[in-house]
Amino acid sequence: MSMRADLEIIQEWIKPGSRLLDLGCGDGELLRYLSDHRKVTGYGLEIDPEKINACIERGVNVIEQNLDTGLGNFGDDTFDSVLMTQALQAVHYPDQVLEEMLRIGREAILTFPNFAHWRCRLYLGTKGRMPVSEFMPYTWYNTPNIHFCTFKDFEDLCRERSIRILDRRVVDQAHRSSFLSGLWPNLLGEIAIYRVTR
């Protein structure tokens, strides 16, 4: 089974036999893969009914839940890893979600688009409008992205909250790393992939 390149990177950080929670799990692709290849056990949280049905068809344990309502239904240290791919920028209180992820899990793995990428800066600077591209195809009024975050913003939040960054990958749209994006991640990185803990 081939999988998205970002999910391929994430699965490297998951220990075999882990207990896992995937926030905004989509169609359950990652959980199914990790269950089959890493023998993880866990759940996905999803709000979209079509994606929930896709999870069920894949045999993935899924709970219908809005992340903005919190994660109070899970106890402290219930999971080894809590994942959230491409959803941090779409929740109302990303700082609170991050705190909750590290309350219920030993580690958190997050991915999000870097809104400080040079293409975003150039588009905004030359056109005077919010960027619209193949990577971010929404206009300002219909985008699910309600908090525009950069590598620097996220790392500042981690410092403020005494959250330790274990790993960081800086990748482009195709989830490839380069020497230059490693030198200037906030300018040249399109997608952030972080593994954090307390």
User: What pLDDT score was predicted for residue 58?
Assistant: 95
b or e along 102-136 (b: 16 or more beta carbons within 10 Å of the residue's beta carbon)?
bbbbebbbbbbbbbbbeebeebeeeeeebbeeeeb
Mean pLDDT on 104-108: 97
Q: What pLDDT digit, counting tens, does each position of 111-147 carry?
A: 988 877 777 777 777 878 777 777 667 776 766 667 7
171 — pLDDT class (breaks 50, 70, 90): confident
Mean pLDDT on 176-180: 70
Q: Where are the domains of the chain?
A: 5-113+146-197
User: What pLDDT score was predicted for residue 53?
Assistant: 97
- For residue 78, pLDDT beyond 80: yes
198 — pLDDT class (breaks 50, 70, 90): very high
Residue from 42, 26, 173, 32 nearest 90 by CA: 26
- For residue 173, pLDDT beyond 80: no
User: What pLDDT score was predicted for residue 115?
Assistant: 78
Residue pair 128/166 in contact by the 8 Å Cβ criterion: no
Instruction: Between 160 and 146, name the one with better pLDDT.
Output: 160
Mean pLDDT on 54-62: 96
Task: Give CA angle at 143 (165, 94), nearest 5°.
Answer: 30
Torsion angle of alpha carbons 64, 65, 67, 71, nearest 10°? -120
* Model confidence, pTM: 0.84
Q: What is the mean pLDDT of the chain?
A: 87
Q: What pLDDT digit, counting tens, does each position of 18-35 carry?
A: 999 999 999 999 999 999
Q: Domain 5-113+146-197, what architecture?
A: 3-Layer(aba) Sandwich (3.40)
